[in-house]
Amino acid sequence: MSLWFTARGAGLSALILLSFATCLGALMSRPGHAGRRYVVQYLHRAAAGLGLGVLVLHVVTIVLDTYANVGITGAIVPFTSGYRPTWVGLGSLAFYTFVGVSLLGLARGRMAASERGARVWRRLHGLSYAGWGLAMLHGFTSGTDSLVGWVRLIYIVCGAAVLVSVAIRVASIPRGTQRDRFAGRPVPLAASGVRPTTPTRVSEGASR
């Protein structure tokens, strides 16, 4: 049973850390002070990396625990687990999504070298929201302690925090303006296809 408790504790810890990283990822895309954004970005990466490490511990301990009846095949191949195959399978998909997004983060600097690459990176990195949703559903439906009060509170707080952060991000997107949200700076007019207008110089005689 000790492996089961360790696996469950690691799973809940990973959910908290990855929810925190998801909140920071949504909030740091808002327009704001550049120095503050760098701090939030650092915390975002640290929380995501630590959350991924704890998630690996969760997978390893759940595989080693014969009581869980998941097995290495059930953990690696989605929907083949002997224990709640559908919900455990969602956890496997969430794990693969988080690993893929993390690897993609290592290529951010190279992909962001061009406007098109930055746009593709943003869309692929947005899969982290899907991974977070799968992780929430997996944890709540697979955990035998999901009906315990303090465990349910963790899910409620994590879910509310992410939803509020995403809502703040959406509300902060400028309306009627074209911005490069990846860099937090306005898109150059030449790149947006809009021709700059040259202001007409008014002579002193005309202004009188």
Number of domains in the chain: 1
Q: What is the DSSP letter of 31?
A: S
Burial class of residue 50, CB neighbours in 10 A (0-12, 13-18, 19+): middle
Entry pTM = 0.78
Domain that holds residue 110: 2-207
What pLDDT does residue 185 have? 45
What CATH number does residue 26 fall under?
Answer: 1.20.120
Helix axes 115-125, 127-142, angle to 10 degrees: 10
- Taking only the tens place, the pLDDT of each residue in 22-48 is 999 888 876 665 567 788 888 999 999
d(CA 208, CA 199): 19
Of 72-81, 108-117, 167-176, which gets the smallest average pLDDT? 108-117
Q: Please, which residues have CB within 8 angstroms of residue 135's CB and are 6 or more apart in sequence? A: 14, 15, 18, 91, 94, 98
The candidate with the shortest Cα–Cα distance to 134, out of 47, 24, 29, 14, is 14
What pLDDT does residue 39 have? 85
**Residue 76, token pair as written in the block:** 């690696």
**Residue 133, token pair as written in the block:** 């949703």
Work out the pLDDT band at 84, boundaries 50, 70, 90.
very high
Give 185's strand partners: 180
What pLDDT does residue 32 have? 61
Q: What is the DSSP letter of 147?
A: T
pLDDT of 201 > 50? The answer is no
What pLDDT does residue 106 have? 77
What pLDDT does residue 109 have? 66
What count of residues does the chain have?
208
The candidate with the shortest Cα–Cα distance to 92, out of 104, 105, 82, 80, is 80
Assess contact for 7 and 58: CB atoms under 8 A. yes
**Residue 95, token pair as written in the block:** 């794990």
Rg value, the chain, Cα? 22
